[in-house]
Amino acid sequence: MRIDIITVSPELIKSPFEHSIIKRGIDKGIVEVHFHDLRNYGINKYGKIDDYQFGGGAGMVLMIEPIDKCISALVDQRSYDEVIYMTPDAKTLNQQTANKLSSAKNIIILTGHYKGVDQRVREKFVTKEISIGDYVLSGGELAAAILCDAVIRLIPGVLGDETSALTDSFQDNLLAPPVYTRPSTYKNMKVPDILLSGNFPKIEEWRHEEAVKRTKNIRPDILNTTNE
């Protein structure tokens, strides 16, 4: 997969790509990520990329021309499955969206800033808009890094243990069950006997029950009745 990230703060977003799972995906050659500084496509010699909004109101709006130039330069070179705009006024990212995106070949991610982008950018270039939750961040960069992490770890070969992404929370509309490791007793706190029993069908049953319990308790909104 190739990911092109268009941003006004390349430095803010680069660090997560230099560590951990995302780095592993890049080092293995499974994913490549390119950063594009929107200022390089600014409309004057100062790299102007934003302006006041028509009709008045606080906050600067990213202009259409620099974004057009940047996206057009990319689209001229290859075709893209999606042009994603990161913005709080969009549908919230979930596991299903991450799963779908993980099979894309090429994607562009545009990160907003200030008051956002000129609406015509969203209408003409953007094919998918994603928010990461119901709160406002200063810019879309951190949100884009989160999206990339959620997607990249799902690409086959990126995680060492192929099955582990499939047993994540949310993959079956359930939160993950509790997990334990050694020692089996610590300061009188015991690991549930069932996990030490060696009875794997029973252990799976217990895990499923615990996952349903936890989901009912904490996130009844995601609980799918077919899982009960």
- Under the rule (CB under 6 A), what is the footprint of ligand 6GU? 86-88, 112, 131-133, 135-137, 139-140, 143
The smaller minimum CB distance to ligand 6GU, of residues 59 and 192, is found at 59
At its nearest, how many Å lie between ligand 6GU and the CB of residue 146? 9
* 91 strand-pairing partners: 130
The smaller minimum CB distance to ligand 6GU, of residues 144 and 211, is found at 144
DSSP state of 86: E
Identify whether the C-beta of residue 13 lies closer than 8 Å to the C-beta of residue 111. Answer: yes
The smaller minimum CB distance to ligand 6GU, of residues 1 and 143, is found at 143
At its nearest, how many Å lie between ligand 6GU and the CB of residue 147? 8
125-145 burial: b if 16+ Cβ within 10 Å, else e: bbebbbbbeeeebebbbbbbb
At its nearest, how many Å lie between ligand 6GU and the CB of residue 68? 21
The two tokens of residue 155 are 């690409």
How many whole angstroms separate alpha carbon 70 and alpha carbon 4? Answer: 10
The smaller minimum CB distance to ligand 6GU, of residues 117 and 158, is found at 117
| CB neighbourhood size of 15 (10 A) | 9
Q: How buried is residue 35: exposed, middle or buried, by Cβ count under 10 Å (0-12/13-18/19+)?
A: middle
The smaller minimum CB distance to ligand 6GU, of residues 131 and 215, is found at 131
At its nearest, how many Å lie between ligand 6GU and the CB of residue 41? 20
At its nearest, how many Å lie between ligand 6GU and the CB of residue 141? 8
How many whole angstroms separate alpha carbon 112 and alpha carbon 67? Answer: 11
